[in-house]
Structure 1
Amino acid sequence: MPPLTIAELLNLAQVTVLTIPTGSDTPELLLGGTRPFKIENDVRINQRTHISILYHHKGDEVIEYPETMLNSDTSIGYFLHMTPTDEPFNPVRNIAYSAGKPSGQSKGHKWPVPCLVDYTTCQGIRICPFVGDDIKISSHTEGSRAALQLQLDQRNAGRAYFSAEEEILNKTIAWFRFITDNGCGYNLQEAMEYSEQELAIKDHIQLMPTKAKWGQKTKKTCQGRIIIRQRQEQSYICCEHYGSFSHKHFVLYPARSGGYNFDYLCALIVNDEPVISKIELGAHQQGYGPLMSCTTVRNISSVKVNCENRHRTSSKGDTLMTEMVRLSCSSRFTVIRPEDGYWKECPKILLICHSPHTHPIPLPTTTPVQIKAEIKALICSLEHELADMTPRCFCRHPAVINRVKELCPAVEEPMVAHLHPSLANLDHIASYIHTEVKAVLPHGTGWDGVTHMKRIQDEEEVTPYIRVIK
């Protein structure tokens, strides 16, 4: 049975067809040249689903920011024309939006071939509670790299130039947060007695780094209070257990606090409000500091729990780490694809997008399936170098550089990150390397790996490479 047409698959009613040229020299693996080769208007899928615009794309093109409609009763569709030899996949895995629950799947739909219908919901993004209202109430129906760059430029438009004073202030606040969150850091001493107010503050403070570690247990260290002492008319910061017979406890002298505002640090520790207000109000007038509104936005898939900036809360007046909150979204994605066993007869996938996104445009942090396959193929091609391969070595490898140049001919000195911005995160590449190493060397490169190779070798009738293990 030959591949079915769009009309046969979807049983379309009246459609208006407009054909446009692709006209792009950009490699199909990359995103810049992704353009539909045909557009259809007013497509009726069933009694409940009406597609206002249906874009036809080649199967190897990446749909990163699919469009939606303002009206929830209508939608935008993307029809992917693939080949019988292609592996079927869910195009939602390529989009920049994080998709999740409510989700589900149904099958047995009586189209010309039996189809599976997957549906997922946009999970929105995470924002700092101190962001402006313009970010909280923003929405969009179209997204692109250019629109994302414009959005970032608008957020930073009123931002003052980075100065040395701002760097010192930020480092001081970060140092204060480290001292507050981690305490002394020396070995656990005798049990401490705290007042109820101190215990409440301590529990609230220690909750933040615990969340940031995603359940990883924190080593128990000295629970002594961080205080300020005087010696020869000089103030210094230390653990209350620090003394002439216990030099290993935490201590910080002004002479050793290079790059920090020691007076501001002392004021934060003892909560000296007049000094704190004077310094932070001056910073606010210059366009920075904990009193400024925030612009931090993160994808829902980000592992970061807290905002990277410190903010002074209005209720308690402290500068605790601010946990980012979720900005939800009701936009939905529906994917229609043939059931297993019917792919070769109809190698086509339909992505339908409903309702606008009620949040800013997210960053493209998800590596598309096609680019991920290209990276994994490059990793596997390194063969004997795979055992001790690291992300940095992979990015600098001549074979990788040559392949990237083939894929990005318009870039003078391309890097792996030119394939997709998510690959600038070396943790992504590290996970791909780890997966391939685990497949090739399931028992690792140590003694267990050698004995595993010896067992395999003994089962084969070839001249042994490993003859003796001692």
Structure 2
Amino acid sequence: MPPLAIADLLNPAQATALMTPTGSNTPKLLLAGSRPFKIENNVRINQRTHISILYHHKGDEVIEYPEMTLNSDTSVGYLLHMARTDKLFNPVCNIAYSAGKPSGQSKGHKYSVMLGRDGKPVPCLVDYSTCQGARICPFVSDDIKITSHTEGSRVALQLQLDQRNAGRAYFTAEEEILNKTIAWFRFIMDNGCGYTLQEAMEYNEQERAIRDHIQLTPTKAKQGQKTKKTCQGRIIIREQSYICCEHYGSFSCKHFVLYPARRGGYNFEYLCALIVNDEPVISKIELQAHQQGYGLLMSCTTVCNISSVKVNCGHSSKADMLMTEMVWLPCSSRFTVVRPEDGYWEECPKILLICHSPHTHPIPLPTTTPVQIKAEIKALIRSLEHELADMTPQRFCRHPAVINQVKELCPAVEEPTVAHLHPSLANLDHIASYIHNEVKAALPHGTGWDGTKLDWL
């Protein structure tokens, strides 16, 4: 698929220059033009590498979903023609796929498309990496597991999501109540009573196996950080009216307790049946939900990028009703980036991206912010220098200067937000990391009184 220009990402309806600099720190926005200005077929760039199709693009264009080949015998290439004053970057940082190991680097290579001013090939540095695939729920349907593609796009992604939700009933209040009940049960099972650890508990073999499995979940979710030990009491039902830790009482009221009738929004009958494993009641409620097109009897459709921090899927196994850990769906697609070695950039300001082999997983969501858009966001953050000390992602998104800038970038949208620049910016953690880096660079001694004194001395 032809790549997207940054202006097309910001404003798909128009292909014009969208923005003028608002300050000395804000670079000029890249001009539109997502179509390759030249296409070559059957190009042999060296003795070992044959490119079936080579797209020539301007250096300001974003390759989000690069085209792949059906096998490793041929490749698809994207040659970015940069300006000598442009900053060198890795185009793999812009793609929606997560690249990683097996990876490596070598130097001293020469290619027929990487020519210097004298028309001779210049020494090049070659970086190669492999698509890391995706993570899926173990209970997804087989057609999702065996999905593969060689071309991706925003349109193809939308079609994929629509097909995944085909035949799905509209979201109803009954479904919300059922989902909320299941979520509460999982929370109770995974976390138990959160009060301070007191006396040791004795469990039978089945209970011990379940608790050992559960205790691994928060550790994985925290990327290996150990969680503090809390009360190990069993969660029980009392008087058929409330759920609590077995240590809860009039003299220990800080232990876990839940009064569903007071809080509302739960199917108490279903929640109690799950806790005591009343199979007839569980089957009756879940069969009714399945007939309406939702519930645990439906096949799962959860697929996430490998870069996601999500550990578990919301779908549960009917055997134990525990949180289901996502599994890895591998991929062997290869990305190779060729760039001039140090000292040859001015002679040959080009970057070559070579792709081959199909992706053996669904089309991923565009969760990676392109380098060019990231630079625009950082420049905009720096322009708010007097308000940088206490800047937050929410304040940044609501700031009048940011709103005006986004409106200039996206004139076709009636009320644009920062997320209209790129879908990944809907994740405020991305913006928070950019703000943190800029604050650290502008105020290296911190934002407190001591930091202020050091900065002014």
Structure 2: give runs of 5+ residues left out of the alignment: 1-12, 19-28, 112-120
Cα pair 1:236 1:253 within 8 Å, conserved:
yes
Equivalent positions of 1:46-445 (< 5 A) are 46-111=46-111, 112-230=121-239, 234-307=240-313, 309-313=314-318, 317-445=319-447
Supply the distance in 2 between the matched residues of 1:333 and 1:110 (Cα, whole angstroms). 18
Deviation at 1:406, TM superposition (A): 2.2
Q: Which deviates further from its counterpart, 425-434 or 284-293?
A: 284-293
Deviation at 1:24, TM superposition (A): 6.2
Q: Distance in 1 between matches of 2:154 and 2:374?
A: 19
1:33: Cα distance to partner? Answer: 5.0
Give the partner amino acid of 2:329: L
More divergent stretch after superposition (284-293 vs 183-192): 183-192
CA 1:227 to 1:371, structure 2 compared with 1: closer, same or farther past 3 Å?
A: same
Check the 8 A contact 2:68/2:150 in 1, yes or no.
yes
1:441: how far off?
A: 0.6
Report the CA distance shift for 1:31/1:250 in structure 2 as closer, same or farther (over 3 A): farther
Q: What is the Cα deviation at residue 257 of structure 1?
A: 4.2
1:210, CA displacement in angstroms?
A: 2.1
Instruction: Structure 1 unaligned segments of length 5 or more: list them.
Output: 1-22, 458-470
Q: Do the aligned residues in 1 keep the contact of 2:30 with 2:60 (CA within 8 Å)?
A: no
CA deviation digits over 1:168-203, x for unaligned, max 9? 110001101111111121222212222232211111
C-alpha contact 1:27 1:408 (8 A) present in aligned 2 = no
SS in 2 for 1:40: strand
The one-letter code of the counterpart of 1:224 is G
Aligned partners of 2:439 and 2:70: how far apart in 1? 46
Deviation for aligned residue 1:452: 1.5
Cα gap change, 1:30/1:299 in structure 2, threshold over 3 Å: closer, same or farther? Answer: farther
After superposition, what is the alpha-carbon deviation per residue over 1:139-174, rounded to whole angstroms, capped at 9, x for unaligned? 111111011011101111121111111111100011
Residues 300, 315 of structure 2: 8 Å contact kept:
no
CA contact (8 A) 2:36 2:56 kept: yes
Conserved in 2, the CA contact under 8 Å of 1:27 and 1:33? no
Shift of 1:413: 2.1
Question: What is aligned with 1:461?
Answer: none
Residues 10-66 of structure 1: CA deviation (Å, up to 9, x unaligned) = xxxxxxxxxxxxx96155868995221111111001222111111111101101000
Partners of 1:441 and 1:393 lie apart in 2 by: 19
Matches of 1:131 and 1:45 in 2, distance apart?
42
Between the aligned partners of 1:362 and 1:434, the Cα distance in structure 2 is: 27
8 Å CA contact retained: 1:30, 1:419: no
SS at match of 1:69: coil
What is the aligned partner in structure 2 of residue 19 from structure 1? none
Note the alpha carbon deviations across 1:39-96, whole angstroms, 9 max, x for none.
Answer: 1111001222111111111101101000011132111110101001000111000000
TM-score (norm: length of structure 1): 0.87
Aligned-residue identity in percent: 85
Contact 1:30 1:62 in 2 (8 A): no
The residue identity in structure 1 corresponding to 2:289 is A
Q: How far 1:254 moved relative to its partner?
A: 4.3
Q: What is the Cα deviation at residue 403 of structure 1?
A: 1.9
Q: Secondary structure at the match of 1:120?
A: strand
Q: CA deviation at 1:427?
A: 0.4
State the alpha-carbon separation in 2 of the partners of residues 358 and 32 from structure 1. Answer: 32
TM-score, scaled relative to structure 2: 0.90
Give the structure 2 partner of residue 460 of structure 1.
none
Provide the C-alpha distance between the structure 1 equivalents of 2:282 and 2:263, rounded to a whole number of angstroms: 18
Equivalents in 2 of 1:312, 1:351: separation in Å? Answer: 42
Paired with 1:51 and 1:448, the residues of 2 have a C-alpha distance of 59
Could you tell me how far 1:269 is from its partner in structure 2?
0.8
2:38 corresponds in structure 1 to: 38
Query: Does the 8 Å CA contact 2:443/2:455 hold for their aligned counterparts?
Result: no
Distance 1:31 1:304, change over 3 A: farther
Q: Which amino acid aligns with 2:194?
A: G
Contact 1:290 1:319 in 2 (8 A): no
**Deviation of 1:220 (Å):** 2.0
Distance 2:260 2:97 in 1: 48
Q: CA RMSD in A?
A: 1.7
Once residues 199 and 30 of structure 2 are traced to their aligned partners in structure 1, the CA distance between those partners, rounded to angstroms, is 60
Q: Secondary structure at the match of 2:62?
A: coil
Q: In the superposition, relative to structure 1, how do residues 258 and 32 fare at CA in structure 2: closer, same or farther (>3 Å)?
A: farther
